[in-house]
Amino acid sequence: MLFNSIDFGIFLPIVFLLYWFVANKNLKLQNFLIVAASYLFYGWWDWRFLSLILFSTIIDYTVGRKLRTEENQNKRKILLWISIIVNLGFLGFFKYYNFFLDNFITAFSFFGAEIKANSLHIILPVGISFYTFQTLSYSIDVYKRKLEPTKDFIAFSAFVCFFPQLVAGPIERATHLLPQFNKKRTFDHLKAVDGMRQILWGLFKKIVIADNCAEYANLIFNNSNDYSGSTLVLGALFFTFQIYGDFSGYSDIAIGTSRLFGFDLMKNFNYPYFSRDIAEFWRRWHISLSTWFRDYLYIPLGGSRGVTWMKIRNTFIIFIVSGFWHGANWTFIVWGTLNAIYFLPLLLTNNNRNNIETVAKGKYLPTIKEAFLMLMTFGLTVFSWIFFRAENITHAFQYLKGIFHYSIFSIPEILPIPILILITLFMSMEWFFRDKQFGLQFDNAKTNKVIRWSFYLIISFTIAAFFGKGSSFIYFQF
């Protein structure tokens, strides 16, 4: 079920009313309703893959219960590895089987050996990369004794399949989200209103910004040989705003929807395109995944401690794995490697935590230096997105070859002025709210009610004007 669909527009208020007016006095009933609604939400796409979520839930719940009473360290490790192998086994089979098979055949062909093996027609379950990492965080934290395992199977099931963030995050930690299912929840009007505003902003990002940018990004990328260098640059820019509007829009809708039901999810995007270096960008982009890899992979490897070669090794590992997490294609690995190359000089010179505070905090405009750093970081990001979007490595290099051509100085063949104006207005809004949790988070005490509602109505009418394309979210494929 898509957030930007009529189906969800009907589904959400029904679940909301049942949750607060029928099950509001019974915590277990509320949790059961969430599980039922989440399975319906996911099964709307393909009910057959519900068995994967259920099996993963049973395995990790059982492992957690066993870890609670098991004191033998070797047996505890075995239990943890059962969880890791089962979860990553499913992920590896559905997402990477054909990739490894094809590359295995290619490698042997290079040495003159011919291997015959057939690829499988595998449908990638939506959201498997997200809920797999979420439930793994539970097993790992219980193993490390950072979290007391739950006895409540329904609450644990709700944690694994919570529908607002089930298919595209944020990837929640068990230590943060699971305890919320064990606490009595009461309706908070202010939290619900704030949630509705965040949902509205997320829909604007997706329907107005991302979907319109996607139309031109797809046209240019799919026919890149036919366009000038300047048009290819524009295509890369359109994809840059498409992926941000699409993914951060999903996160805003997920977080806002969760607030309607009394839950707080972690912030997943923090205005990343205003970053002054790549390290800051990765603290602001897909925060739930970045911090997951940091805590469960980077730090266990040694992090930024140790000798120089270890720092370099760990940096490349975390970025390459992050790239591979996104998909079974060498383009994602190159994308991750590029970001490791961007990040490494900052780490080795101890400048990776220079920009912690919000840029130009308390000011209307950045300094010339800040503007230059933001522009440079944005340019590096746009460059790497070309590999992320390209069909394959050959396509990526052909695209770049087309950019670095004298035609880059020509007028683009495609120049949709209305969309460019929308992007400019969108980024202006983002800049104005950059110290808030999301765009449209007005301070009611400081902002006139007429001004606030004018924004809400204008944005609502704009969404309605562009509604109807019903395109899926980019990160559903990951």
Catalytic residue of the set 176, 189, 326, 405:
326
Question: Biggest alpha carbon distance in the chain?
Answer: 74
pLDDT tens-digit profile, the chain (478 residues): 788 888 999 999 999 999 999 988 899 999 999 999 999 999 888 788 899 999 999 999 999 999 998 889 999 999 999 999 999 998 888 887 766 666 556 555 655 556 665 656 667 778 888 999 999 999 999 999 999 999 999 999 999 999 999 988 799 999 999 999 999 999 999 999 999 999 999 999 999 999 999 999 999 999 999 999 999 999 999 999 999 999 999 999 999 999 999 999 999 999 999 999 999 999 999 999 999 999 999 999 988 888 889 999 999 999 999 999 988 889 999 999 999 999 999 999 999 989 999 999 989 999 999 999 999 999 999 999 999 999 999 999 999 999 999 999 999 999 999 999 999 999 999 999 999 999 888 887 778 889 889 999 999 999 999 987 657 777 766 6
Q: How far apart are CA 54 and CA 233, in angstroms?
A: 45
Identify residue 326 by its one-letter amino acid code: H
Q: What pLDDT, on a 0 to 100 scale, did the predictor assign at position 90?
A: 87
Instruction: Return the C-alpha torsion angle 436, 471, 125, 243, nearest 10.
Output: -40
Q: What pLDDT, on a 0 to 100 scale, did the predictor assign at position 70?
A: 87
Q: Is 122 left (phi over 0), alpha (psi -120 to 50) or beta?
A: beta
Per DSSP, 205 falls in state I
Q: Are 355 and 277 in contact (CB under 8 A)?
A: yes
Q: Which helix (DSSP H) or strand (DSSP E) does residue 133 occupy?
A: helix 128-143
Residue 267, SS3? coil
Q: What pLDDT, on a 0 to 100 scale, did the predictor assign at position 181?
A: 95
Q: What are the structural domain ranges in the chain? A: 6-187, 190-276+355-477
Q: What pLDDT, on a 0 to 100 scale, did the predictor assign at position 126?
A: 81
Q: What pLDDT, on a 0 to 100 scale, did the predictor assign at position 98?
A: 67
Is-catalytic flag, 405? no
Structure tokens at 95: 């997402």
Within 327-367, where are the H helices?
A: 330-348
Per DSSP, 22 falls in state T
Structure tokens at 1: 């079920």
Q: How far apart are CA 332 and CA 475, in angstroms?
A: 13
Residue 201, SS3? helix
Structure tokens at 134: 């979420």
Residue 177, SS3? helix
Q: What pLDDT, on a 0 to 100 scale, did the predictor assign at position 172?
A: 94
Structure tokens at 352: 């990776």
Q: What pLDDT, on a 0 to 100 scale, did the predictor assign at position 424?
A: 96
Q: What pLDDT, on a 0 to 100 scale, did the predictor assign at position 470?
A: 57
pTM of the model as a whole: 0.93
Bond preceding residue 272 cis, omega within 30 of 0: no
Q: What pLDDT, on a 0 to 100 scale, did the predictor assign at position 78?
A: 94
Percent of the chain scoring above 70 in pLDDT: 93
As a whole number of Å, the end-to-end CA separation of the chain is 16
